Amino acid sequence: MRVLSLVGARPQIIKEAVLHEQFARHGVEEILVHSGQHYDYNMSDVFFEVLKIRKPDYNLNVGSGKHGEMTGKIMIEFEKVVEKEKPELILVYGDTNTTMAGAIVGAKLKIPVAHVEAGIRQHPKDMPEEINRVLTDHVSNLLFCPSRLAVENLRKEGITEGVYFVGDVMYDLYKKMENTFSYEVFESLGLKESQYIILTLHRDFNVDQREVLEKILSSLAEVSKRFQIIFPIHPRTKSRVRDFGLQSYLENVTVIEPVDYLNLMGLVKRCWKVITDSGGLQKEAYFAGKRAIVLMPDTGWIELVKEGWNKLSDAEHLLDLLLEDKDVKYPCDLYGNGNSAERIVEIVSSFNF
C-alpha cells in the first residue's frame, strides 16, 4: 500500500513523523512531500532528534506568496508528483493552504483523501484557516477527528461517512516526550511549583496594533503585581513591544527568550495557570492538567472552553478570570488516550480502496 503524505508547515511535519512510525510498523509505504510553504532546513531541535524527522522525498519549493498564488502553485506541482507516484491514498494535515491544495488535487484525480485533524471549526468563518478546513473536509474520504465535538461539527454539515474519532496526534507526541521534559529553565529561574503563570503571545490580532497590544500589556502589568509571570517572548512580539515603546508594562514580568519544547513543557507542568493565544499550548496545558486563559475571541479547541477548563478572554477581563477560582473537574479523554496515530494507520490499512 502506498500513501502520499503532504505537509507544508512545522506542526504538520511533527504530526507526520508521529504517524510515520506507525506506518513503518504496519508495512505501509509512505512517500513524504513537502510543499515548501514554510520550511527551514537548518531547523534543528528536539523533535528532529527524538522523532527522527526525515527529509522529504519531494520538495515542491513553492515558497511564500498570496493565498491564491501559493495554493495554485502547490496544486500544479503536487499533481505532477501524484501522477508519477500513483498512491492509493493522499494524507493531509490541519488547515494550511497546503492542506487544501493537496485535498483538491486528490479529489480531482479521484484518489481517496484522508484528513488528519478533521472537523475543527472556528470563527470568524472567513479566516483562511477556516476556509481551508471546511473545503478539505468536504472533499475528504477519511476524516480523522481529534475530538468528539469535531465529529459533531461534521455531522451538522451532513458529513457522516468515513468519519472517525481517533484522538489528537499531538497527545501522542506529548505522552511520547513526557519522560524527557526538561526542568533546566524552571530551576535556573528559581521558580516554585504552582506559584507562577506561563504567558505566550504572538497572534497578529493581539500584537500588530499598538492600541490592542497596549491594552493586553497593561492588563498583564496588573496581573504581575499579584502573580509571577514567565514570558518566553516571541520575536514578533518582542519587536512590536520595542517599536511601540511599551517596555515599561513588562517591568514586573520575567521576560525570557523562547525556549525549546522540552523546557516549555517542563515550565507548564509546574506552573499554576497558562495565558496564551497559541492553539497548541491551549491543549498542551490541558494535557499537563493546567487551566488556560485564552487571549482569543474564539478557538478551534472550544470543547475545552465548553467544559469550563479553559476560558476565552480579552484584555479587560484577564485578571478577573484568573482570580475566578471555580472548582472544575478535569474533563478526561477529550482527545483520546494517546494512540491516535496507531488508530489512524489501522483504519487506513483496512480501508476499502
The residues that are catalytic are 202
Other CB atoms within a 10 A radius of the CB of residue 25 amount to: 11
| Contact indicator for 266, 182 with CB cutoff of 8 Å | yes
End-to-end Cα, the chain, rounded Å: 10
Distance in angstroms (rounded) separating the CA atoms of residues 305 and 311: 5
Q: Which three cell numbers stand for residue 215?
A: 491594552
Burial class (CB in 10 A: 0-12, 13-18, 19+), 92: buried
Distance in angstroms (rounded) separating the CA atoms of residues 3 and 324: 48
Query: Pick from 144, 90, 95: which is nearest to 112 by CA?
Result: 90
Residue environment code for 126-163, b if the CB has 16+ CB neighbours within 10 A, otherwise e: eeebbebbbebbeebbbbbbbbbbbbebbeeeebeebb
